[in-house]
Structure 1
């Protein structure tokens, strides 16, 4: 029996009077999203921090735990791609675009004849170089590469920029999330990065893919000066086979990581010496002033958040797993640190991916080739799959270990709360390879970390409520996940991934509503935050992982859906 239901079998169901009949057409999905957005207020949504968290939800009434290369038709997709340059990779079509020769996306300015250019180097080679040339890098007792990301131990969302140019400007959701940068300022940063990289004694290039579905995957090239960064992206991108690498050709997007070199803060559009800038016209991303590897990973996600909806594919900040039945697919939505990686790593289910996915007309596919797990308080008992993945080939960031035994102290947060490990998804024993589902999701679980201790452990949502929570995205930023965040902070993060959105949230929400309707998906809201009071208050405590797992087990077994429900108005 579900741990939360030991004292009472009553659960609750949604109380939205107009939503019981569900959604009947694709137009109804758009209508539902529009109504939801109207309630949230457009100006509140844009700010991302003002929306009210109160809504009617379905809550479990007992709180026991709380007290203790084929193409689509161009005509059929033309409306999706009217503003984007032409490209030839499968599944995505763009309006013809002819840049000046010097602006071609593959013309990065990097000297690829560099005497010590390392292309798709082996794990062993990257280990050797990191240990030899990067101060403070060592090997843990389990064989993982332990390294430091320097001053920045989390993302720098305030330094993220997207180039404002004519081919994509009308599409972008401009505002606090996507700050404009002029083409001229981008070229200044680009030249600064190229000049720095071309002066290094050795460079590393990794060519990989984003997206497991060959129809929609894109080719990503990473150029960097640290072996650690190359190994990180070798883990996080999908690694090409020898034959694929032989025929790789030119990339669809290039990441120039010159993170050890600062941006010029006096350049127009800069507010600090850190800059993470994406130019969709040139198909480039330039990083200056931060060596935090997660910027590359989330940069790729941002790129996919623009490209995939243009191809009619919904991109989601989510983890995903699948039961023995190929139709038993679950998506977990949640901001970084809310439990996506941990809760989707279930030994009784097949892991599709831990953080970034796309939902096409065939099912769900992972964007990445690896996992990026938080390590704070990690233990073999609580998270055996993740614990076992930390071995040769994995990258441990900003952890503290014993100088003699080289054993990592996962409880030590003296460097940051955001200790991380990046490892290939193949290191999870029950990973589904290739990382594509056999069917469409049966359940969607929205993970919210409630720092106020108000939300119940589990709620069942109507379609209308699902849209409300998806668009408002009430949760908390977890310590260390962003620069300057040292303890949980309540926030509203649209689509449970606002920092990575490129289009307006309602565009993703409309696509999601349509898919929920079409595939009759059950939607749940699970609080992985605090109970018994707000964070830091006497008597409050973080909801135990074992209780969250018990709830999810009951969802997968169908037990919770069959329970008695009580409506909370």
Structure 2
């Protein structure tokens, strides 16, 4: 089969009379509402619903098996291979489908605030509200940058085009396909806008390591003295809450790169969860939901158009997409120096990990690869007691390369720049979920600030007998009995049993990293 000229197909599509290029936020708001894609809310945000797909569809995500990349990709259940023939045939079908639409929307911009390494992207959307989402989430070009824009990668999103698995070789009507050779992402059959955002992050996770840049799924902020802190953590661990500090400027809330120059935000906006959102708890996010913000699957009163953030009837994964400039106290541009402090956040529902501990380089690499947190009883059907959750590098769905590539880069950069790494447990103390209590946010803030300010660099520590972690024994403003988790349990034997069980879960999870060096396993993992 002859290879299809996707460049020619794309050029023909973009030359069509139905293409609206680089519309402004007001224009896109008008288009989205007048076309019935979204409704205007009381704050000026637009609210859209995404149908049956209210989150990502990982089983429908593929990477095209091509000579340029096939020996680099960590193939498996996350990075599923698909043939060039299937991709090219679907590309032709999608382009033909989009040519026949009354109007298409194209955004040109960048991924990466570091101008030396940024990726020029163009996003082609069937929906105006998806194009507004892209406008708000990625880095918007100046007039001069737009005039000289070079597209390095194209993302095509056609939600209403549905694949036929029997003909098209997919698992379902939905597909998210990345071709590293053609430099195209093809999305169809899903209205969930997060697929656009995360596809670009996956691309950056493939491309940046080639330039000796570590891509990271984390938030970042910077102090007045230029000191940088990174916050890694899965959903529910407090990443957004702890990185939003009135005394520090936000670099970004989700995706960053760490180059020879320092840290930079990959995006130009924020994609915040807003379930149960209140101004009292998260004022920055609440106030950012203003004109041009995109609300996904948030229930809105049909008359007043006031959002009800506590209503979970559509999904718990309600989201708000807005430019980072909607947040006060940001670093502009979104770049800073090398990290002084790195914080790994976990919400340990077993109640056995210390509220804060200092990590060696090997421990940092081990816990980075592990990416641990826990599910709570009742959060999912069938979950009746806490369960461990491991997400490699705190972002396993978005890593095209083998996880050890990213871990080894992290270890090297820690050595080069002397970054201090801490594991912070925002979960339970004094017992597991249902017995103990959630760690007080005020204590966590105090501990994190002490770490950032260097107050824990030379304090006395006690070594955890099971996990081998160095635990500070005294932190001003935090009760000493809280710091060593075993001391907080009334039943010491129950603690030992639960901690040993969690350590076994860590070791079992780590067996999947077959090529990891002995140093990381022996020096970084649990002792018992």
Matched residue, 1:203: 104
Q: Deviations over 1:157-190 (max 9, x none)?
A: 1111000011111111111110101101111221
Is the CA contact (8 Å cut-off) linking 2:349 and 2:375 kept in structure 1? no
Aligned length: 463
1:92-491 to 2 correspondences below 5 Å: 103=5, 105=7, 107-108=9-10, 111-135=13-37, 137-249=38-150, 251-267=151-167, 269-326=169-226, 328-437=227-336, 439-476=337-374, 490-491=388-389
1:58-97 to 2 correspondences below 5 Å: none
Matched residue, 1:528: 426
Q: Which secondary structure does the structure 2 equivalent of 1:415 belong to?
A: coil
Cα distance change, pair 105–304 in 1 and its aligned pair in 2 (3 A): farther
Is the CA contact (8 Å cut-off) linking 1:185 and 1:267 kept in structure 2? no
Q: Which secondary structure does the structure 2 equivalent of 1:153 belong to?
A: coil
Structure 2 gap ranges (5+):
466-528
The question of 1:554 aligning with 2:450 is answered yes
Q: Which secondary structure does the structure 1 equivalent of 2:256 belong to?
A: strand
Cα distance change, pair 542–294 in 1 and its aligned pair in 2 (3 A): farther
Q: Deviations over 1:253-275 (max 9, x none)?
A: 00110122222222465212211
2: CA distance, partners of 1:287 / 1:476 = 31
2: CA distance, partners of 1:520 / 1:133 = 54
Q: Which secondary structure does the structure 2 equivalent of 1:266 belong to?
A: helix
Select the structure with the greater relative contact order (CA < 8 A; seq sep ≥ 6). Answer: 1
Q: Which secondary structure does the structure 1 equivalent of 2:166 belong to?
A: coil
Q: Deviations over 1:489-519 (max 9, x none)?
A: 6321111111100111111111110111111
1:354 offset after TM fit, Å? 0.7
Match of 1:513 among 382, 404, 411: 411
Matched residue, 2:489: none
2: CA distance, partners of 1:181 / 1:418 = 29
Cα distance change, pair 301–566 in 1 and its aligned pair in 2 (3 A): same
Matched residue, 1:32: none
Matched residue, 1:61: none
1:402 offset after TM fit, Å? 2.6
1:215 offset after TM fit, Å? 0.7
2: CA distance, partners of 1:191 / 1:399 = 35
Mean Cα deviation higher: 551-560 or 182-191:
551-560
1: CA distance, partners of 2:163 / 2:432 = 39
Cα distance change, pair 431–179 in 1 and its aligned pair in 2 (3 A): same
Is the CA contact (8 Å cut-off) linking 1:337 and 1:477 kept in structure 2? no
Q: Which secondary structure does the structure 2 equivalent of 1:192 belong to?
A: helix
Q: Which secondary structure does the structure 1 equivalent of 2:144 belong to?
A: helix
Cα distance change, pair 109–313 in 1 and its aligned pair in 2 (3 A): same
Cα distance change, pair 283–329 in 1 and its aligned pair in 2 (3 A): same
Matched residue, 1:63: none
Q: Deviations over 1:171-218 (max 9, x none)?
A: 111111101011011112212322222221111000010111111001
* Alignment RMSD (CA, Å): 2.6
1:384 offset after TM fit, Å? 1.4
1: CA distance, partners of 2:431 / 2:375 = 18
Mean Cα deviation higher: 303-312 or 405-414:
405-414
1:452 offset after TM fit, Å? 3.6
Q: Deviations over 1:111-130 (max 9, x none)?
A: 22433321110111111111
2: CA distance, partners of 1:549 / 1:374 = 21
2: CA distance, partners of 1:485 / 1:187 = 42
Structure 1 gap ranges (5+):
1-99
Is the CA contact (8 Å cut-off) linking 2:153 and 2:183 kept in structure 1? yes
Q: Which secondary structure does the structure 2 equivalent of 1:392 belong to?
A: coil
Match of 1:495 among 371, 390, 393: 393
1: CA distance, partners of 2:357 / 2:276 = 27
2: CA distance, partners of 1:107 / 1:235 = 27
2: CA distance, partners of 1:209 / 1:385 = 25
TM-score (structure 2 length as normaliser): 0.82
Q: Deviations over 1:440-466 (max 9, x none)?
A: 100000122334443232222111111
2: CA distance, partners of 1:263 / 1:345 = 42
Mean Cα deviation higher: 375-384 or 359-368:
375-384
Is the CA contact (8 Å cut-off) linking 1:417 and 1:486 kept in structure 2? no
1: CA distance, partners of 2:167 / 2:373 = 35
1:319 offset after TM fit, Å? 0.9
1:337 offset after TM fit, Å? 4.6
